[in-house]
Amino acid sequence: MFIGTEKLTYTYMSGTPFAATALNEVSFSLGKGEITLIIGPSGSGKSTLIQHLNGLLKPSSGRVYFKGQAIGSDKGELLRLRRRIGLVFQIPEEHFFSETIYDEIAFAPRNLGLAESEVRIRVKDALEKVGLRAEQLQYRHPFQLSAGQKRLVAVASVLSMNPEVLILDEPTAGLDPSHRRNLFALLDNLNRSGGLTVIISTHHLDDVVALAHSVFVLQGGRMVLAGPPSEIFTTREKLYDLGLSLPSVTEIMHSVKEKGLPVKTNIYTLAGARQEINRLKGRPGR
Amino acid sequence: MSRSITLGQYLPGESLIHRLNPRMKILALLLFLILLFSLKTYGGLTALFFIALGMIAVAKVPFRYFLRGLKPILYIVVFALIIYLFFTKGGVVLLRIGFITVESEGVREGIFVIARLFTLILFSLLVTLTTTPLSLTYGMSYFLKPLRYFGLPTEEVAMIMAIALRFIPTLMEESQRLMRAQVARGADFETGSIFRKAKSLVPLIVPLFVSAFRRADELALAMEARGYRLGARRTRMYEDLIAPRDWAVLSFILVLFSAALAFGL
Amino acid sequence: MVNRPEIIVEARNLAYHYPGEEATSFPALSGINVAVYRGEYLALIGPNGSGKTTLLKLFNALLVPSDGEVRVEGVSTIDEVEIPRIRRICGMIFQNPDNQLVATTVEEDIAFGLENLALPSAEIRQRVGEVARMLNLEHLLQQPPHLLSGGEKQRVAIAGVLAMQPGCILMDEPTAMLDTASRRDVNDMVRMLRQNHNIAVVHVTHFPEEAAFAERVIVLNQGRLVRQGPPKAVLTDLSLLHSLGLQSTAASELAALLREDGFELPSQLLHNRELVDSLCSLELKS
Ligand SMILES: Nc1ncnc2c1ncn2[C@@H]1O[C@H](COP(=O)(O)OP(=O)(O)OP(=O)(O)O)[C@@H](O)[C@H]1O
Ligand SMILES: Nc1ncnc2c1ncn2[C@@H]1O[C@H](COP(=O)(O)OP(=O)(O)O)[C@@H](O)[C@H]1O
Ligand SMILES: [Mg+2]
Ligand SMILES: [Mg+2]
């Protein structure tokens, strides 16, 4: 296993009346170079799980693995780990601490000990990748941005570290459709060309399910479903029961099928739906 | 975000102590403190200590919260004890190291002062653990009211205190947040010499202040959006009524005072 | 319609630029003329950074126009003295549920705005009780807000605004950070407000499915109002939306693709149900 957990349990504030068990014996694993989705209603433990994967939280019990080795508590090792596993927090404001957007994005490469000329290139590159214009923004304060721009800067600030694994906690909340698709296209691209392993937690499944190799569903701190998208999204009742939804396109295909038209439902993109509906008519789609 | 428990944080409850009027609680706390500092004998102090324990039981607040509250002052306690042990003279010599002596009067005084400090903290924690920060500040602003005549904007002072109270956990949260945000991007706080570690903390300090101000700014925005204006007249959801139980508590304290006087404690 | 609907908020030739904004970039808003009518449900859409949040803040007098003016029930927001009244009429809900709750219990939070209005205590308690019942928050009144779920926090925020009996509620992406179930919850509530209380709602959103339920949609781009009209007109103008990097609902997008392929689908189709019904009526089964 490349990254995974074994019977991972985590309790916030244990030993107080506020103790909350956020993860309960969660075991899962994913392979190198995969794109993984973690979904589940809010409070199901997604953010808690994610923060274990790069050692920000320490398990109350159980283990977390990276490259087949249990993540221990050796400080130097954790440091090296965190430089290889990038994490974008759920709330962009939680992410910022610098005076300018440039410094924000430069922070990680500087920690890697790169020369300033190299840092400059990384910053420009990262901003370009997420679809922001460097010359316009880079000397502004991170908080002088619109909601969506902040999120993109948060992603850029981790991309500039060139991590092997990129974990994004609900990265698309507040992004407009084109920035959202741009972000997913970027992740897909980095995954295909650079072998980047990607883990995404999200409530909003449009445009992302088509990229995913596997999907994990959390509820109440337990891993309740796991499998490839085609398996997870074939029965919608189960997801409804969990308070979850399907990608909009898949939803439409399910409804069409319910009305008696013989369509496949494991379809996650507009192009796929178009093709499938054309097939009914006996005409191949473009 | 973080739900960490901070010193003296409010614990919801329904007990008699929880329901006392905050003004009365503050007044009672003051009276208890006066009593505490006017007591001269171990007997009196012990009695008051047990009264504090009794009230804690009534409030149904688990005792470990008090222990937690006592922890931060441990250093002060040790320091005070040393001062008393070595510098207060009188009575029998208990210990002699070279020309330094520990005498029985020092031990007696030292323990007395510390017991007093503990009791004092128990009483203060009892108030902060059973009163929401907001009603606590409203209570305080009541006692500040006379200062209005000297031009002090007491309502605003109360609001500032309320916000400050709301902010203590926020600030602690904020420093944790900054640390996590930087650690997640490969900052190194933990390896290396102490000097290196201390140096690596420097980049945390400026952002901590900046973001504290930003948080304050955001909160101010949210408050303003709901019509809060500095200096404008406000009302409160609950009028500040003094109930019979408040009078009962006050009489109880007065009885204690007279007892202390009568028995010369 | 005999008598014209009453205007609650009106922007005339409105412009705003943030202090220190570089001269090279466009102002956050310019040349905006728009009105919000009593009881209407208005959706505000546009790419990231197009000025949606800025416009709401100007409506609520949190920002003062650089040029032109905003009038709330006929009163200009430049008028310092009128600001409390303006903020009572135009309540605001922010995107991040964590940054808008000001008090230490839910009850105190709902009461906060009413206390600012200096209402008598008895009336405050009565109104808090009323909105808590309406929004189903009674069981949470004594909880500290930070222990609530995101959806509950947004409901508390809405309750706090609603208690002030506003004429208009401004919502800045209230559902962006919520899961599917809470999003549905908040959206149901918004519809209920309009129907039962005749309160205007201005809803900023990146979800076309939410905008499709509005009565009117306004599109901003680079600080300018580029289009307004009923969803059936605006959200089916795909060439406009796509040119701005926006999208319509999945149903509408898919319908457009299928129309290209020769399917005869109605042109103003927005909701899944409409698409599914029309597809089935094409009798593809044969
Ligand atoms: N405090 C600020 N100081 C300077 N410029 C700002 C500030 N806040 C926003 N801006 C800029 O003003 C423009 C409009 O921002 P606004 O927040 O209104 O956008 P928005 O439409 O709400 O975007 P989003 O969909 O991302 O929330 C953007 O270009 C943004 O960078
Ligand atoms: N800092 C924290 N302190 C205490 N409890 C927390 C904290 N963060 C999350 N929790 C609790 O842990 C559970 C899982 O939360 P989280 O991992 O944030 O879920 P998700 O990301 O799926 O919304 C929830 O019950 C939540 O209330
Ligand atoms: Mg989360
Ligand atoms: Mg915005």
Per-residue pLDDT, averaged over B32-57, amounts to 86
Do residue B55 and residue B98 come from a single domain?
A: yes
Name chain A contacts of C50, Cβ cutoff 8 Å.
Answer: 146
Do residue A28 and residue A157 come from a single domain?
A: yes
Do residue A143 and residue A207 come from a single domain?
A: yes
Residue B191 domain flag: yes
CATH of the domain at A221: 3.40.50.300
Matching residue, tokens 């570290």:
A161
> Is residue B6 predicted with pLDDT exceeding 60?
no
Q: CB–CB of C103 and B224 under 8 A?
A: no
A103-122: b or e for each residue (b if 16 or more CB lie within 10 Å)? bbbbbbbbbeebeeeebbeb
Q: In what order do the strands lie in the sheet with C75-76?
A: C29-37, C7-16, C67-72, C75-76
Distances (CA, A) of A51 to A83, A108, C94: 14, 18, 26
C-beta separation of B170 from B215 below 8 A: yes
Residue in chain C closest to A246 (alpha carbons) equals C180
A223-258: b or e for each residue (b if 16 or more CB lie within 10 Å)? bebbeebeebbbebeebeebbbbbbbbbbbbbbbee
- Distance from C-alpha of C121 to C-alpha of C114, rounded to nearest angstrom: 9
Indicate if ligand 2 lies below 6 Å from the C-beta of A47.
yes
Residue B27 domain flag: yes
pLDDT band at A284 (very low <50, low <70, confident <90, very high): very low
Measured over the CA atoms of residue A111, residue A114, residue A117 and residue A118, the dihedral's sign is negative
Per-residue pLDDT, averaged over A230-256, amounts to 90
> Is residue B113 predicted with pLDDT exceeding 80?
yes
Count of beta carbons in the 10 Å neighbourhood of residue B146 = 10
Per-residue pLDDT, averaged over C119-134, amounts to 92
Output Rg (C-alpha) for chain C, integer angstroms.
20
Q: CB–CB of A108 and B190 under 8 A?
A: no
pLDDT value for B165: 60
C224-247: b or e for each residue (b if 16 or more CB lie within 10 Å)? bbebeeebeebbbebebbeebbbb
Residue B217 domain flag: yes
Residue A242 domain flag: no
How many separate domains does chain A show? 2
Residue B234 domain flag: no
Q: The tokens of A188 are what?
A: 């897909």
pLDDT value for B27: 87
Do residue B194 and residue B110 come from a single domain?
A: no
Do residue A160 and residue A261 come from a single domain?
A: no
In this predicted model, what pLDDT tens digit does every residue of A104-118 receive, in sequence order?
999 999 989 999 999
Q: Which domain holds residue A251?
A: 247-286
Indicate if ligand 2 lies below 6 Å from the C-beta of A109.
no
> Is residue C1 predicted with pLDDT exceeding 70?
no
Do residue A266 and residue A216 come from a single domain?
A: no
Instruction: Tell me the average pLDDT of chain B.
Output: 77
Q: Which domain holds residue B225?
A: 154-229
Do residue A276 and residue A200 come from a single domain?
A: no
Nearest-CA residue for atom 24 of ligand 2? A43
Lowest mean pLDDT among A1-10, A40-49, B183-192, C36-45: B183-192
* Percent of chain C surpassing pLDDT 90: 58
Helix/strand/coil for C217 = strand
- Nearest ligand atom owner, CA of A44: 2
Residue where a domain stops, chosen among A192, A209, A232: A232
> Is residue B7 predicted with pLDDT exceeding 50?
no
How many separate domains does chain B show? 2
pLDDT value for A223: 94
Q: In what order do the strands lie in the sheet with A214-219?
A: A85-88, A165-169, A197-201, A35-39, A214-219, A222-227
- Distance from C-alpha of C199 to C-alpha of C211, rounded to nearest angstrom: 17
Nearest-atom index, ligand 1, CA of C52: 21
Indicate if ligand 1 lies below 6 Å from the C-beta of C178.
no
Do residue B80 and residue B165 come from a single domain?
A: no
State ipTM.
0.86
Do residue B51 and residue B94 come from a single domain?
A: yes
HSE toward the beta carbon, residue A135, CA cutoff 13 A? 3
pLDDT value for A105: 94
> Is residue A61 predicted with pLDDT exceeding 50?
yes
With contact defined as 3+ CB pairs under 8 Å, the chains touching C are A, B
Element (H, E) at A105: helix A101-111
Do residue B110 and residue B175 come from a single domain?
A: no
- Distance from C-alpha of A152 to C-alpha of A171, rounded to nearest angstrom: 8
Do residue B220 and residue B246 come from a single domain?
A: no
Q: CB–CB of B181 and A89 under 8 A?
A: yes
Do residue A251 and residue A146 come from a single domain?
A: no
Helix/strand/coil for A29 = strand
A13-23: b or e for each residue (b if 16 or more CB lie within 10 Å)? eeebeeebbbb
Nearest-CA residue for atom 1 of ligand 1? A144
C-beta separation of C181 from A41 below 8 A: yes
Helices (H) and strands (E) in chain B, counts: 10, 2
Nearest-CA residue for atom 17 of ligand 2? A45
Per-residue pLDDT, averaged over C65-88, amounts to 92
Residue B235 domain flag: no
Count of beta carbons in the 10 Å neighbourhood of residue B52 = 21
> Is residue C280 predicted with pLDDT exceeding 90?
no
Measured over the CA atoms of residue A52, residue A54, residue A58 and residue A64, the dihedral's sign is positive
pLDDT band at B135 (very low <50, low <70, confident <90, very high): confident
Q: CB–CB of B184 and A98 under 8 A?
A: no
Residue A237 domain flag: no
For chain C, where are the alpha helices, taking DSSP H only?
A: 52-59, 83-89, 106-116, 121-134, 150-162, 180-197, 208-211, 231-234, 238-243, 250-260, 272-281
Residue B118 domain flag: yes
Do residue A219 and residue A255 come from a single domain?
A: no
C-beta separation of A26 from A8 below 8 A: yes
Do residue B127 and residue B257 come from a single domain?
A: yes
- Distance from C-alpha of A251 to C-alpha of A247, rounded to nearest angstrom: 6
pLDDT band at B2 (very low <50, low <70, confident <90, very high): very low
Residue in chain B closest to A98 (alpha carbons) equals B207
Element (H, E) at B214: helix B194-225
pLDDT band at B22 (very low <50, low <70, confident <90, very high): confident
* Percent of chain C surpassing pLDDT 70: 95
pLDDT band at C96 (very low <50, low <70, confident <90, very high): confident
- Distance from C-alpha of C181 to C-alpha of C196, rounded to nearest angstrom: 22
Measured over the CA atoms of residue C132, residue C136, residue C137 and residue C138, the dihedral's sign is positive
pLDDT value for B146: 77
More confident residue, B189 or C116: C116
pLDDT value for B128: 83
Distance A59 CA to ligand 2 centre (A): 14
> Is residue C186 predicted with pLDDT exceeding 70?
yes
Do residue A118 and residue A259 come from a single domain?
A: no
Residue A239 domain flag: no
> Is residue C117 predicted with pLDDT exceeding 50?
yes
Per-residue pLDDT, averaged over B90-105, amounts to 78
> Is residue A84 predicted with pLDDT exceeding 70?
yes
Residue in chain C closest to A152 (alpha carbons) equals C48
Closest alpha carbon to A114 in B226, B117, B186, B199: B186
pLDDT value for B4: 39
> Is residue A40 predicted with pLDDT exceeding 70?
yes
* Alpha carbon of residue A196 to chain centroid: 12
DSSP character string of B17-79: HHHS-HHHHHHHHHHHHHHHHH--SHHHHHHHHHHHHHHHHHHT--HHHHHHHHGGGHHHHHH
pLDDT value for C28: 92
pLDDT value for B78: 83
Do residue B66 and residue B31 come from a single domain?
A: yes
- Distance from C-alpha of C271 to C-alpha of C248, rounded to nearest angstrom: 10
Do residue B169 and residue B148 come from a single domain?
A: no
Nearest-atom index, ligand 2, CA of C149: 27
> Would strands A197-201 and A35-39 be described as parallel, antiparallel, or unpaired?
parallel
Q: The tokens of B162 are what?
A: 């309320």
Do residue A19 and residue A77 come from a single domain?
A: yes
Most confident residue range from A137-141, C144-148, C173-177: C173-177
Residue A98 domain flag: yes
Nearest-CA residue for atom 14 of ligand 2? A45
Nearest-atom index, ligand 2, CA of A49: 17
Do residue A77 and residue A193 come from a single domain?
A: yes
In this predicted model, what pLDDT tens digit does every residue of B211-242 receive, in sequence order?
777 777 777 788 888 888 777 777 878 776 77
- Distance from C-alpha of A191 to C-alpha of C221, rounded to nearest angstrom: 32
Closest alpha carbon to A64 in A79, A43, A80, A78: A78
C115-145: b or e for each residue (b if 16 or more CB lie within 10 Å)? bbbebebeebbebbeebbebbebeebbebbb
Q: CB–CB of C94 and B10 under 8 A?
A: no
C-beta separation of C249 from C273 below 8 A: no
What domains appear along chain C, each with residue ranges and CATH number?
A: 7-248 (3.40.50.300)
C147-173: b or e for each residue (b if 16 or more CB lie within 10 Å)? ebbbbbbbbbbbbbbbbbebbbbbbbb
- Distance from C-alpha of A24 to C-alpha of A222, rounded to nearest angstrom: 5
Residue B108 domain flag: yes
- Distance from C-alpha of C74 to C-alpha of C10, rounded to nearest angstrom: 8
Do residue A214 and residue A281 come from a single domain?
A: no
- Distance from C-alpha of C111 to C-alpha of C163, rounded to nearest angstrom: 8
Residue B236 domain flag: no
- Distance from C-alpha of C182 to C-alpha of C206, rounded to nearest angstrom: 16
Distance B198 CA to ligand 2 centre (A): 31
Please, what is the end-to-end C-alpha distance for chain C in angstroms?
A: 46
Nearest-CA residue for atom 12 of ligand 2? A22
Q: CB–CB of B184 and A79 under 8 A?
A: no
Helices (H) and strands (E) in chain A, counts: 11, 10
pLDDT band at B1 (very low <50, low <70, confident <90, very high): very low
In this predicted model, what pLDDT tens digit does every residue of A146-202 receive, in sequence order?
888 888 999 999 999 999 999 999 898 889 998 899 899 999 999 999 899 999 999
Residue where a domain stops, chosen among A232, A261, A277: A232
Return the DSSP state at B141.
H
Q: CB–CB of C117 and B12 under 8 A?
A: no
Element (H, E) at C31: strand C29-37
Indicate if ligand 2 lies below 6 Å from the C-beta of B3.
yes
Do residue B6 and residue B18 come from a single domain?
A: yes
